A and B are shown apart, each in its own frame.
Chain A
């Protein structure tokens, strides 16, 4: 997993609950990494443990924690860290979502060890599309849902995100219907 994802977890916890809370969550997670390098690949286990410990510490369901992380990632991390590249992803929410598969395909080529997820866009209409999220990593569906909500906010677009099909139901991908 991207170090950037773990950094987001850290930033969110520190900004909302303070440095002490982050130290406690790291301690509970048994994570000893002090600084995450954004482009570095870290074992997925670290992210899962951090999310689990944060869920326990904040007394929130892990799904809710992941959703918040996803939204925070777009609003606070990606916009600041990726900057203009993020803006260049599209001039509107649908354009950005259409470009999302290309963006991740490029990342996969540049950083082959990161094993980024795949996205596919289908059923495009004027007011909606279906986004297929394909990943070998389990349990991150709420994170993607949070990302989509965050993207809606980034483009000042009232977006409704509905998880129509889940990998948990046996499919290959999580399918989100995104309406705006």
Chain B
């Protein structure tokens, strides 16, 4: 039996009634089902009409048996009923139309799975039925809850990762909000056993206490930390009775959505490093003291050498003058005495040269400042030296090619440069064949001036070349040529003193070339403590 417009007394066609109330049921005073909407029929596998209502529906709320008269008298009320076969809860109201009591309702679902269980689709519901809207909301809520759970898991994983990274960092980390409350910190322990957070917020750990171990910023609050740069400062504190040095780096951590900025603090325990620095400084001071003692000792010894040397030299001169007349010594004795005097003179010269070079080296080593630098003409200096050497050898063997510009001057310690070039020319003459020339050339470079000395002689064996700038080293092929082993050391130190460099090449039995390049702007002085001393060290400079 199907509802009709005449049955209901309404001007609704059965199709319209079914569309508007697809889950409706109607029963008569005898409690027999007389009407059933198409969607309710879908919930049942058997015929519904003509059956007792109690077989089809059971009351849920109110939980009282269906009674036609009582329902008719109770007026408008919300009824929740359960479809017996499908076990579906429906909610709606009872409506008496003529002699038929209609239940006009719709299923009530807690989960969209119910739809599938019952085989219902959107088409089974009235268009105005909000049940589907509710299901839509429930489903979206379910999906969004899933998203949020996933989000929470990701956040938890990120937080755990961040925390483990921060904990593993070899420095203290404290992040605070704009109120100074700690948002993130790690377990970095300071020397006294305190954590970074305790150190940052105060000995007591009470953030409100004004006992801040580390000031928020030396010049004020966190707001004074510039947004685009970090601010670092070091502080010295006593923690648990121990003196500690902490380096603090403050930086801004942008707040979310341009909110209030947070302040980050990185705390580095510098105590160990500071202690090492202290020890290093003390050792350096001791080294300076030793070097000064060494310099004074060498100076003293060298001067003490000079005095007797001068006396011996004077005595030698007087004795030679006294014994040189033929009436005093003649014949074989005079001849032998002359040879002995020559030997004596050569030995005295070598000894004087050695003492002078040791003194000069000592002076270079202990110069702390470039106070002796002054503008001077390297061209004039080299010309004078070449002229001097040409007067001492016969025939003159030193040629000069001076390519320096006329009037050119450079800042230099003239005495040192003179000694260096002098040593090079002297070596060139000593170790080259007596019939060969020694060529000297000076020229200008963009930022330096240079001088080279080239000889044609015995050269330096390959095996010795690495060591020629070592103190007291002499090449294996010098034979009986006298020397102290300090000449090239002085050259090297003089060039180093000016911040210059030496180019050197040599071939055994062909000759050697030494070129000094002296920069126009000498470097700042090296600290006196770096002085190497005039005597061989464990790691001599090659």
Contacts and interface: CB of A to CB of B under 8 A. Distances in A.
B76 interface: no
Interface in B25-44: none
17 contacts: A3-B147, A34-B151, A34-B154, A35-B147, A37-B147, A39-B140, A39-B143, A39-B144, A84-B112, A84-B113, A89-B121, A90-B123, A102-B122, A103-B122, A106-B136, A107-B136, A110-B137
Contact of A106 (B133, B143, B147): B133
B150 interface: yes
B159 to A, nearest CB: 13
B123 A106 contact: no
Contacts of A89: 121-122
Contact of A35 (B116, B136, B154): B154
B144 A83 contact: no
A91 B124 CA distance: 11
Interface string B118-153: 001111000100001101110111011011101100
A33 to B, nearest CB: 11
A110 B143 contact: no
A111 to B, nearest CB: 8
B133 A88 contact: no
A99 B123 CA distance: 7
B115 interface: yes
A14 interface: no
| Most chain A CB within a 10 A radius of its CB, from B127, B132, B143, B151 | B143
B122 A87 contact: no
Nearest to B153: A35
A85 interface: yes
Contacts of B154: 34-35
Nearest to B112: A84
A95 B115 CA distance: 16
Interface in A125-172: none
A7 B143 CA distance: 12
Interface in A3-42: 3-4, 7, 34-40
Interface residues of A, number: 30
A57 interface: no
Contacts, number: 79
B133 A110 contact: yes
Contacts of A110: 133, 136-137, 140
Interface of B: 111-116, 120-123, 127, 132-133, 135-137, 139-141, 143-144, 146-148, 150-151, 154
Contacts of B150: 35
B126 to A, nearest CB: 11
Given A91-B121, A102-B122, A83 B151 contact: no
Contacts of A106: 132-133, 136
Nearest to B120: A88
A83 B148 contact: no
Given A90-B123, A107-B136, A110-B133, A83 B147 contact: no
Contact of A85 (B112, B147, B148, B151): B112
A81 interface: yes
A83 B139 contact: yes
Contacts of B122: 88-90, 99, 102-103
Contacts of B135: 85, 88
Contacts of B123: 90, 95, 98-99
Nearest to B140: A39
Given A85-B112, A87-B116, A38 B147 contact: yes
Contact of B143 (A35, A81, A87, A98): A81
Nearest to B147: A37
A90 B132 CA distance: 13
A82 interface: yes
Contacts of A81: 139, 143, 146
B151 A37 contact: yes
A1 to B, nearest CB: 15
| Most chain B CB within a 10 A radius of its CB, from A90, A102, A106, A110 | A106
Contacts of B146: 38, 81
A109 interface: yes
Contacts of A84: 111-116
B113 A83 contact: yes
A36 B146 CA distance: 11
A112 to B, nearest CB: 13
Given A83-B112, A84-B113, A37 B120 contact: no
Contacts of B120: 88
Contact of A36 (B111, B114, B121, B147): B147
Given A39-B140, A89-B121, 11 more contacts: A3-B147, A35-B147, A38-B144, A81-B143, A82-B143, A85-B112, A88-B122, A88-B135, A90-B122, A90-B123, A111-B140
Interface in A37-57: 37-40
B372 to A, nearest CB: 62
A74 B4 CA distance: 42
Given A81-B143, A85-B139, A90-B123, A35 B112 contact: no
B148 A37 contact: yes
Contacts of B137: 110
B121 A90 contact: yes
Contacts of A82: 112, 139, 143
A75 B148 CA distance: 23
